[in-house]
């Protein structure tokens, strides 16, 4: 009995969101989700959840026009692309599988699938329902259900505040090409100026202190960050980047200065010295997520939360 298995065909991986079906001799035998009327199976899993997910490894592609469920899609590189639509997200079912450009999907990273944007590229996604925004690496095709605009990783959906709800109204803005290496830490070849929040639009980052309530990171008259309290073990920081060139680290520190206190610390790794850039300490919870979102939007899209040891 023949099995028809559609695997990672261009623009067909996720015909209807996150559902998948196994089709045997034209009959549907099993379904991973009943929320969509039709779907196709994902590409083979190459990394199990909990194992390190390799970065990069894909190719740059735009692709030719294609048709899904009677609708035509026309991929192209459009520097002025900005569109409002519905965002959804996909998670464990696709974690560790190949994306449309050959990278490996990591649901805990900031990535996304889009029907027409070039792969891989950066896009700013703003949740119009709560004002949150993140910069994501677009390295996959889809979604195609219900005219949705973009399919985000689980982590991106969490930071945008709609992971439990499932969908949200968003604005997607194209920023530029992403490096094939998969290094999203400080991509200088991408123009993030448009995505960087303006000072008048930013909410102050709440910084951890010894007082019962976190104090605010304020700017002094000469635009230097306010002094921060000594960090206790367990204090939360945002690690924005690590560089062998101290000048690059200082440039990033200057870029992030409007967000909160930033430190550059030399760290020895064998015979090599790296210069680590960290923001904080900051309060946890949604304050940390808000601060991390600001750091991503400032260009350091590979930044992550770390705890003081």
CA distance 295 to 290: 9
The pLDDT value recorded for residue 289 is 75
* pLDDT tens digits in sequence order for the chain, 309 residues long: 232 222 233 334 444 344 333 333 233 222 233 334 334 456 889 999 889 999 999 999 999 999 988 899 999 999 999 999 999 999 888 999 999 999 999 999 999 999 999 999 999 999 999 999 899 999 999 998 889 999 999 999 999 999 999 999 999 999 988 989 888 764 333 334 333 443 333 344 444 433 322 323 323 333 333 334 344 555 788 888 888 889 988 988 888 888 888 999 998 877 888 898 998 887 766 667 778 878 887 778 778 877 765
CA distance 57 to 54: 8
Cβ atoms of 94 and 42 within 8 Å: the answer is: yes
The pLDDT value recorded for residue 309 is 57
The pLDDT value recorded for residue 183 is 82
The pLDDT value recorded for residue 60 is 95
Radius of gyration for the chain, computed over Cα atoms and rounded to the nearest angstrom: 21
The pLDDT value recorded for residue 308 is 64
How many CB atoms lie under 10 A from the CB of residue 137? 27
C-alpha distances (whole Å) from 297 to each of 26, 94, 194 are 47, 26, 9
- Residue ranges of domains in the chain, CATH in brackets: 21-177 (2.40.40.10), 206-307 (3.30.70.1070)
Name residue, tokens 């260009």. 299
CA distance 54 to 4: 29
- Count of all residues that appear for the chain in the document: 309
The pLDDT value recorded for residue 151 is 96
The pLDDT value recorded for residue 76 is 94
């Amino acid at each position: 009995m023949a099995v028809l298995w559609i695997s990672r065909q261009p623009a067909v991986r996720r015909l209807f969101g996150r559902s998948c079906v196994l089709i045997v001799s034209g009959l549907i035998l099993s379904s991973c989700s009943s929320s969509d009327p039709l779907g196709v199976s994902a590409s083979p899993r190459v990394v199990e959840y909990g194992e390190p997910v390799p970065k990069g490894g894909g190719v740059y592609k735009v692709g030719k026009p294609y048709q899904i469920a009677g609708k035509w899609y026309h991929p192209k590189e459009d520097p002025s692309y900005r569109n409002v639509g519905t965002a959804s997200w996909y998670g464990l079912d696709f974690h560790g599988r190949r994306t449309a450009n050959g990278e490996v999907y990591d649901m805990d990273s900031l990535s996304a699938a889009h029907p027409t944007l070039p792969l891989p590229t950066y896009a700013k996604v703003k949740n119009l329902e709560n004002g949150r925004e993140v910069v994501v690496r677009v390295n996959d095709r889809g979604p195609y259900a219900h005219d949705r605009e973009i399919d985000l990783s689980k982590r991106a959906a969490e930071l945008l505040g709609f992971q439990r709800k499932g969908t949200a109204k968003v604005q997607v803005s194209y920023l530029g090409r992403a490096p094939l290496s998969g290094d999203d830490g400080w991509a200088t070849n991408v123009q993030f100026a448009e995505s960087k929040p303006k000072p008048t639009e930013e909410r102050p980052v709440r910084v951890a202190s010894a007082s019962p309530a976190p104090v605010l990171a304020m700017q002094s008259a000469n635009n230097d960050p306010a002094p921060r309290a000594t960090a206790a073990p367990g204090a939360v920081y945002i690690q924005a980047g690590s560089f062998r060139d101290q000048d690059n680290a200082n440039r990033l520190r200057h870029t992030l200065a409007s967000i909160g206190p930033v430190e550059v610390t030399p760290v020895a790794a064998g015979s090599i010295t790296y210069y680590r850039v960290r923001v904080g300490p900051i309060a946890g919870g949604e304050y940390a997520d808000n601060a991390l979102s600001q750091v991503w939007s400032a260009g350091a899209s590979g930044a992550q939360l770390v705890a003081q040891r």
